[in-house]
Chains A and B, each alone.
Chain A
């Protein structure tokens, strides 16, 4: 079936560097995507979202890019901090608000 998946299971990044987390989706009809951050022992937390009529959206230290041609989106975190260590999920939102999550990328920030 249609799925949302991530390329890398673990990303190690040095504090202060920029992080890029990638996500591929297979449903070309998808029109709304969300990035979530999940810290250990907590539920997923909304970071940023993007609609399919946009290529880029910026938040505080985060930017999401959407490439509909290759069905790919990415999350960029600027000046990565220790508090950014977590698992990051992209999710596709379908009808009735149903979320379909990818497997996640573990981001480890090293000093």
Chain B
């Protein structure tokens, strides 16, 4: 079974520039998550999708971050404009369904973003 795919793996940009990350979840997984992991910290949930609908985006900085999952499969996370404090690894995860609470989340390798 193929895992969660993410691209790019690394990205370096200057502050105030824009950047986008892409995630392809495991086939058949209805729930998709985006996490931000700052160096030395645990992942923090940014947004959760159930199919193409947003379940939780309470910790997404909506003034600069946006995410979409238009067809309920792939997802993109965008930052515009980027700030220095956005430097982190952005992890995508997927699970069969999030509502039961017991479905295991499978994580992708992440995209390491460096903002200069």
User: A98 at interface (Cβ–Cβ under 8 A)?
Assistant: yes
Q: Which of B33, B56, B99, B109 contacts A41 (CB 8 A)?
A: B109
Residues of B within 8 A of A102 (CB): 42
Do B103 and A97 have beta carbons less than 8 Å apart? yes
Do B101 and A43 have beta carbons less than 8 Å apart? no
- Residue-by-residue, is B43-67 near A (CB-CB < 8 Å gives 1, otherwise 0)? 1110010100001100000000000
The stretch among B13-21, B73-81, B90-98 that forms the contact with chain A is: B90-98
Q: Which residue of A lies closest to B4 (CB)?
A: A43
Q: Which of B4, B41, B45 contacts A104 (CB 8 A)?
A: B41
User: A99 at interface (Cβ–Cβ under 8 A)?
Assistant: yes
B-contacting residues, A54-111, CB 8 Å: 89, 91, 93-104
CB distance from B103 to the nearest CB of A (A): 6
Q: Which residue of B lies closest to A104 (CB)?
A: B42
How many residue pairs between the two chains, A and B, have CB atoms under 8 Å in the bound complex? 63
Residues of A within 8 A of B91 (CB): 43-44
Do B42 and A103 have beta carbons less than 8 Å apart? yes
A41 to B104, CA, bound (A): 21
Q: Count residues of chain A with CB under 8 A from any CB of chain B.
A: 22
CB distance from B48 to the nearest CB of A (A): 6
User: A52 at interface (Cβ–Cβ under 8 A)?
Assistant: no
CB distance from B57 to the nearest CB of A (A): 11
Question: Do A97 and B105 contact each other (CB < 8 Å), given the known contacts A43-B91, A43-B93, A43-B110?
Answer: yes
Residues of B within 8 A of A45 (CB): 107
CB distance from A55 to the nearest CB of B (A): 19
Q: Which residue of B lies closest to A36 (CB)?
A: B107
A42 to B101, CA, bound (A): 24
Residues of A within 8 A of B95 (CB): 97
Given A32-B101, A101-B42; 15 other pairs, CB 8 A cutoff: A41-B109, A42-B110, A43-B4, A43-B110, A44-B43, A44-B107, A89-B42, A93-B101, A96-B56, A96-B98, A96-B99, A97-B101, A103-B40, A104-B40, A104-B42
- Which B residues contact A (CB, under 8 angstroms)? 4, 31, 33, 40-45, 48, 50, 55-56, 91, 93, 95, 97-110
